[in-house]
Structure 1
């Protein structure tokens, strides 16, 4: 054992001697390695010695000369701090005594502070410091929280995804221990989610950002703080004060959507403000649907048309036309216009069975098409024609259309009525008024 120690020491001294002599001049002339020549020589020796051990993963023997570097020439190299974190963590894992572990955590915190002093990058380094403190000394969560908060206040959207994740993780512990209120947690999540969303959007292939985002959302959802009442109480006064703040509106929309608060007027109003600044088809469609649900038919019509004008995808346009036709039929009660819009949906997508079904419903609802009872009943021929067409283009509608056909065929004119009007089953017939559809005479069974 003594022989092995001797050989190891000899090898180390030899390496130091060779390395030091090779680079002595550059060290001796640079004040970052110490205030005087003697200190710089000592610094060079310890840098070389700990560096050699470190490269061979011999952290135990690297530890003492690394400490000497920190003590006599702390500005010598940023690697002293990067490697020092690993050395301290390795030593932390090796010891069992709680007092020793605590001292090593304190040393690690000091190393981060020294790195900031000599090499800056304060925000990024504070983020790492907070992560390590929370991991190694979770009972110091409040201290870790404040460090992470400062780090993120500096780095903002450039914060490391792991720091953002750690911040929310610590916030959960803070909330569980009544150090944060529900409103504070919502505010914190709103800020962090903006930052991580921006990173995930800017770098869609960045797995770290995506994983952090998923983790942050999961932690927040599990905390149960974001109920609708809390969100509205926190953000409605802010919205009223600055409704033109698009970023605020986006926060409101994101939080309310995630927590199923979309029926509240605040969600709709925030969405409208975003649309004013950043119009797009999807948002216009969402607003149209919200207005429809709120029974604001004219406003819904307006935003459906906005969505149609902004949408370039054919199938999406067809669906928007269909929804607008449905609104025009059910809320605006304009049957001719509803049919006109439904036909535009079919132009975009000829296989849209539900649009044919809607036209059938429109016809079947018409009660004033004709000057007598016979003519009024002929609208059911036209309606059934559309139901037949609907199941032809979309077989999945077959059962539903068959039910409607059976229902409305009971309202056909009787055979006697047909004979009275000098017609017979199978004849061609044009349904009158605005419908003006060519159809086939059928009798009630």
Structure 2
């Protein structure tokens, strides 16, 4: 029910009369009265006329439900003696909004709002809250866009598991669904940001675009916090000690289920459980029934675990070639770039990272990989100490781009850039070397150049 009310009170007064011709004649008048009070946040004065309209003519105008939420939330806080009554009324408002105005309110948001109300007011059981959110998510995951509700959905499930009321497989399945949803939202936000950042740099953003960009970055930060919280909540439930016995127990029943095999192998790979023989069984079963980008990638992980990096790279390349989804392909390229970077293959790692960016400019992780590669090459690029340390400016420059295109990485991006800048020549160094504003070319694998900051 979080929608903006953009109709002026004066206009509303005229509109209400039209809507209320066949209604109780007091309805339009009370509607105008409570709307005027609510618009200036005088919710106490708005309550009685609002209540009259809600009880007698709720179909009159959707503003009854929009303002009703604000009015009742205020009453819950300001009149604790009757708190339970107002909570019950607000729950009813959430439920009836979609019934009377289905084009304005959705059942999904109604269930989310009701669950959050129960949680915030410490009402209802974990089962009741979870069931509302589970219904909302499974019936309309596209419309489930509330970060707080996403976290509560998963967090409550974990609590139910800890209480012995939900099994571990359901926790993992929901974790996959929730993190997938967060990734989808971040992707959409990233695409919006990528389109607007060049205009921001040029100073040509319209006032509307500035708001859109600011909102996208804020939402990205919100999803970053939720993503971190979801991972923390999963905690040790997803370590190898839990994963291996669970998948061993279920392997025979699911060894021909490609989706289950992908999920199981993917989680074991993510949690570095690839050294267990079960991982081999999962990967071989998957590659046998459905040779795919996923199965080839996991075969690469197997050889990586065995120390055969050349064979691993061969399968990683096969995986990348087989992948048709550009977002997934970009993620695989990013992972391969990261593995190459860890092996010290700097030029190769940058090449894969750049390919990942070409496929998905909203993927900020490759920028962090490239920045780290540059920072680790200080001793290779330059003939003087000043020139060698200048590479950190380039590393910081690249690291900042990660946060610009991917709001979920804004914190990591800022920290990395600040760390690199701290290792670059100081103002005193620039002055002593008389290098302010000059260009330094990097005659090493990095290539390119950097302009020394002016004092």
Query: TM-score, normalized by length of structure 1?
Result: 0.55
Answer whether contact 2:17 2:28 (CA < 8 A) is retained: no
The yes-or-no answer on 1:49 pairing with 2:38 is no
Residue deviations 1:379-424 (CA, integer Å, cap 9, x gap): xxxxxxxxxxxxxx989xxxxxxxxxxxxxxxxxxxxxxxxxxxxx
Give the C-alpha shift of residue 263 in structure 1. 2.0
For 1:115 and 1:287, how far apart are their aligned partners in 2? Answer: 54
Check 1:20–1:256 CA distance in 2 against 1; reply closer, same or farther (3 A cut): closer
Pairwise CA distance, 1:114? 0.8
The 1:22/1:194 distance shift into structure 2, 3 A limit, reads closer
Mapping of residues 9-48 of structure 1, within 5 Å = 22-23=14-15, 26-28=18-20, 37-39=22-24, 41-48=25-32
Deviation of residue 109 (structure 1)? 1.4
Q: Counterpart in 1 of 2:141?
A: 156
Structure 2 stretches lacking a partner, 5+ long = 1-8, 194-219, 322-332, 350-378, 382-455
Pairs within 5 Å for 1:364-379: none
Q: Deviations over 1:234-276 (max 9, x none)?
A: 4456555555655434432443345442322443455564893
Residue 185 of structure 1: SS of its match in structure 2? helix
Q: Whose Rg is larger?
A: 1
Q: Kindly indicate whether structure 1 or structure 2 has the higher relative contact order, using CA contacts under 8 Å at least 6 residues apart.
A: 2
Q: Distance in 2 between matches of 1:346 and 1:193?
A: 30
In 1: Cα distance, 2:317 partner to 2:111 partner: 49
1:80-132 CA-to-partner distances (Å, cap 9, x unmatched) read 223222221111111333xx222222222111111132234212221122122
- Confirm or deny that 1:134 pairs with 2:119: yes
> Does residue 225 of structure 2 align to residue 216 of structure 1?
no
Give runs of aligned pairs for residues 57-206 of structure 1, distance below 5 A: 57-97=41-81, 100-120=82-102, 121-138=106-123, 140-160=125-145, 161-204=147-190, 206=220
User: Residue in 1 aligned with 2:304?
Assistant: 289
Q: Which residue of 2 aligns with 1:422?
A: none
Counterpart residue number, 1:207? 221
Aligned-pair CA distance for 1:44: 1.1
Equivalenced residue count is: 294
- Distance (whole Å) between structure 2 residues aligned to residue 270 and residue 157 of structure 1: 31
1:259-300 Cα offsets, whole Å, 9 max, x none, are 44232244345556489322699766424213x26xxx7xx8
Q: Distance between the aligned counterparts of 1:346 and 1:47, measured in 2? A: 67
Distance 1:58 1:130 in 2: 27
CA RMSD of aligned residues (A): 4.1
- Give the CA deviation at 1:55: 0.5
Q: Distance in 2 between matches of 1:185 and 1:347?
A: 40
Contact 1:246 1:277 (8 Å CA) reproduced: no
Indicate the residue corresponding to 1:429 in structure 2. none
Do the aligned residues in 2 keep the contact of 1:116 with 1:122 (CA within 8 Å)?
yes
- Paired with 1:70 and 1:189, the residues of 2 have a C-alpha distance of 40
Residue 225 (structure 1) aligns with: 237
Distance in 2, matches of 1:247 and 1:199, equals 22
Contact 1:281–1:307, Cα closer than 8 Å, also in 2: yes
CA offset at residue 146 of structure 1?
1.2
- Classify the secondary structure of the residue corresponding to 1:149: helix
Aligned match of 1:441? none
